[in-house]
Homo-oligomer: A and B are copies of this chain.
Amino acid sequence: MTIPSDPALTDLGFAQVDLARVARRGRPEAIFSQGKTPAQVVAIARALAEAGQTALATRTSPEQRDALESALGGTFDVARHDTARLVVVRAQGAETAPRKTGTVGIVCAGTTDMPVAEEAAITAETLGSPVVRHFDIGVAGLHRLLRRLEDIRTCRVLVVVAGMEGALPSVVAGLVQAPVIAVPTSVGYGASFQGVAALLGMLNSCSPGISVVNIDNGYGAGYLADVINGVGE
C-alpha cells in the first residue's frame, strides 16, 4: 500500500489543511487554536467548511471565538461553546454526523472539572454520539456516584474527568464493563502540579479497562469516545 501522492488538501502557506482526513480517518481535522492568530483560525475553519466538512476549533480564546463568529457567522452555521472553549463551524444545511446507537457517559468529579467535561461532551455530540452527563460525583461523597450507577452502567463508553488525586476513574472502572477514558484535569494546587498528580494516578490505576489522555484534553477524550462508540456499528 502506498500513501497517495496527490492528497486532498488546501495549502494556505502557514497551514496545509488536511481535507483527506475525513476519508482516511472518518472524522475531519480539528483546529488546535491555542497559539494561532484569530486570522489563522478563521482561515482554516473557512477552508474546512467550504469543503463541506465540520470545522471544530478547540482551546479557543474569547478573541478567537469572536473572530470566528463575526467572520463566518453570516456564511456558515457557527456554534459557540464558551465553557468548553469550542466553536463548531459548518456549511449551512450541511449534514451532521449520523447519530450512533450507543451512549457516551461523561462523568466528572467536581464542578471545577466542568470545562474539560463539557469539551468532551460537545466533541462527542458533534461527531455523532448521544451523550449523558453526570457532574460533581467524586469519591469524597461516594453515594453521589452510587445513586447514578445504574444509569452509568448503561453507557457504551465512559469518559471520566477528575483533577486533584484523580481517583474517580479507578472507582468507576471497578464497577462497570464499559471502557473508561480517563481525563486528568489541572484542577488543584500545590502538589497537584497542574494535573500531574491526577495523570499519574490514572496511569497507575489498579482497575483495568482504563486508558488515559493528556491533562485537560477533553477534545481527545470525546473524539476517542465517539470512535469506540462506533466500534461494531
By a beta-carbon cutoff of 8 Å, the part of chain A in contact with chain B is 1-7, 9, 13-16, 18, 20-21, 24-27, 29-30, 32, 34-36, 40, 44, 59, 102, 109-112, 114, 135-144, 146-147, 149-150, 156-157, 164-167, 170-171, 173-179, 181, 184, 186-217, 219-221, 223-224, 227-229, 231-233
| B residues in contact with A157, CB < 8 Å | 231
Inter-chain contacts of A227 with B (CB < 8 A): 177-179, 209
Identical chains in the assembly: 8
Taken together as a complex, chains A and B put the C-alpha atoms of A140 and B169 apart, in Å, by 10
A158 vs chain B, min Cβ distance (A): 11
In the complex, the answer to whether A6 meets B147 with C-beta atoms within 8 Å is yes
A59-B189, A190-B215, A208-B223 are known contacts; what are 6 more A-B pairs with Cβ within 8 Å?
A2-B4, A25-B177, A140-B174, A142-B171, A142-B175, A189-B214
Q: Give Cα distance in the complex from A204 to B27, angstroms.
A: 19
Query: Would you call A206 and B165 a contact (CB within 8 A)?
Result: yes
A203 touches B191 (CB 8 A): yes
A35 to B215, CA, bound (A): 16
Contact A217 B190 (CB under 8 A): yes
B143 contacts A7, CB within 8 Å?
yes
